Structure 1
Amino acid sequence: MEPKTCVVTGASRGIGRGIAERFGEAGCSVAVNYHSSAEAARAVVSAVEDAGGAAIPVQADVTDPEQVELMYEDVKEAFGSIDVLVNNAGINQDVFFENMTHEQWGAVLDVHLDGAFNCTQTFYDDIVGAESGRLINISSIVAKGGNLGQANYATAKAGIFGFTRTLAHELAREGSTANCVAPGFIETSMVTDLPEEIIEQVREDTPLGRIGDVEEVADVVAFLASERSSFITGEVIDVNGGMDL
């Protein structure tokens, strides 16, 4: 991947952190978005810089358009226009549907869907104006198969599919692309905090027989952000060890 200017939302931990660090290895300038974990975001910035890139931490609640606009101004001042936006920010509030509150439903949809809308709309002109603009959205295997206790999360992540494919049509008019990455069970705190018996069942249900690494997702995102993906748009790329075969 050649150096680009990138924004990664929800980049203070997990998959977002892995993506930011992978961009750093390519010499990119990276805006490390975070909601409340300032110390963790600063650690990611240091890791990106150690890898050979440039980085700044940018605080914003992606559900708040005004905060996203302030983030845009910070990124513009530091790096100028961006080339790549990765909508990765997300939360989960897992509970069986019969017990799910409207607040739990809305909070998850707000972060995943309103967050993607707010950030994409704010950085849209940059993506369109870039020589090879890239919009990359992070979804989940749960969007395809559902999961117990995750009606809100599965719905939000499935919505990302339609959002990506529609933006792919619209961005194509200007030569930019939009794609989606749908990870399976990846070694992040969301997975490693599960009971061991569930993790073992996931391994058994995965043809490759293991949990995925963050780096394996980040490599796919880096490919989609690169010139090598220039004829790929509107796709949902699974990184799940064959779990939905």
Structure 2
Amino acid sequence: MNQKSLAGQRAVVTGASSGIGKAIALAFAEAGAAVVVNHHSDAEAGKAVTAEILGKEGRAVSVRGDVSKPRDVQKLFDAADAHFGGVDILVANAGAQADAPFLEMTLEGWRKVIDLDLTGAFLCAQEVAKRFRRQGLEPNRSRALGKVLFVTSVHQRIPWAGHANYAAAKGGVRMLMETMAQELADQKIRVNAIAPGAIKTPINKAAWDTPAAARKLVKLIPYGRIGEVEDVAQSAVWLASDAADYVVGTTLFVDGGMSLYPDFREGG
């Protein structure tokens, strides 16, 4: 794929200060996009991602914001307008976990994850779709009016004991994505999702950081390795590019086959 497949485009990537969001922001910049690097609590990390892009002669700006708050969401897209003249791509990646067994999960823990992972995705997607329509189609930038890419999880499909809030949020994002795609496709707004499986990120370090933990995790992955953030980022670049212009309302699983229920390889 052309390394500059996103040349001239403007992207907002939420939760871009670390992990998958950081990798997507860097990959988008490498592909030619100008990037709003959203962070919430770690301003220094957000600035570091922005500095890395600028150091490679890319375009980026770091913007603090809690995507579960409408005013903060508007601020992200206002920054895209002010610095880059508009927005062509949203990557709704920001998320959190607050794990607990179902009978011990507090309402606070439930709301924390639903508010950020699901409501935050809704707020960002609604705001950017309105801006796509105001901007109008610019064929010299993209064949689509705009692109929305949700980062979900294999747990939009696979139940996950001890993580009911997270699984419910990601399942909800899947249906949000599909309903948006159904409703907005005729306006040339492309809406899709990426569902990562086991990826080496700070949030799940305990699951892969020791040989014993890694061996246990790999048993769930038919392809035989734990994913890297770059695996997800390169898939995101393709989905956001004109090369994927006919891909609408689809979830791309980037999971080494985890969603194939590998325990059933030998008959269950």
- Deviations 1:208-234, CA, capped at 9 Å, x for gaps: 111101001001110011000000000
Q: In 1, Cα distance between the equivalents of 2:257 and 2:13?
A: 26
Structure 2 partner of 1:186? 199
Conservation of the 8 A alpha-carbon contact between 1:191 and 1:199: no
Q: In 2, Cα distance between the equivalents of 1:9 and 1:155?
A: 20
Q: In 2, Cα distance between the equivalents of 1:209 and 1:91?
A: 27
Selected match of 1:50 from 43, 55, 77: 55
Conservation of the 8 A alpha-carbon contact between 1:83 and 1:130: no
Q: In 2, Cα distance between the equivalents of 1:121 and 1:30?
A: 19
Selected match of 2:87 from 82, 88, 93: 82
Structure 2 partner of 1:224? 239
The aligned amino acid for 1:203 is V
Q: In 2, Cα distance between the equivalents of 1:2 and 1:155?
A: 32
What TM-score comes out, normalization by structure 1 length?
0.96
* Percent identity for Structure 1 against Structure 2: 39
Q: In 1, Cα distance between the equivalents of 2:198 and 2:34?
A: 28
Structure 2 partner of 1:206? 221
Structure 1: gaps (5+ residues): none
Pair 1:66 & 2:71 matched:
yes
Structure 2: gaps (5+ residues): 139-143, 261-268
The aligned amino acid for 1:231 is Y
Flag the structure with larger Rg.
Answer: 2
What TM-score comes out, normalization by structure 2 length?
0.88
Conservation of the 8 A alpha-carbon contact between 2:129 and 2:189: no
Q: In 1, Cα distance between the equivalents of 2:25 and 2:252?
A: 19
Q: In 2, Cα distance between the equivalents of 1:193 and 1:40?
A: 21
Please state how far the C-alpha of 1:200 moved relative to its aligned partner. 2.1
Cα RMSD between the aligned structures? 1.3
Q: In 2, Cα distance between the equivalents of 1:193 and 1:51?
A: 32
- Deviations 1:21-61, CA, capped at 9 Å, x for gaps: 00110121000001111100011001222344200001111
Conservation of the 8 A alpha-carbon contact between 2:147 and 2:189: yes
Aligned length, in residue pairs? 245
- Counterparts of 1:1-245 in structure 2 under 5 Å? 1-3=5-7, 4-128=9-133, 129-131=136-138, 132=144, 133-194=146-207, 196=210, 197-245=212-260
Q: In 2, Cα distance between the equivalents of 1:140 and 1:181?
A: 7
Conservation of the 8 A alpha-carbon contact between 2:206 and 2:213: no
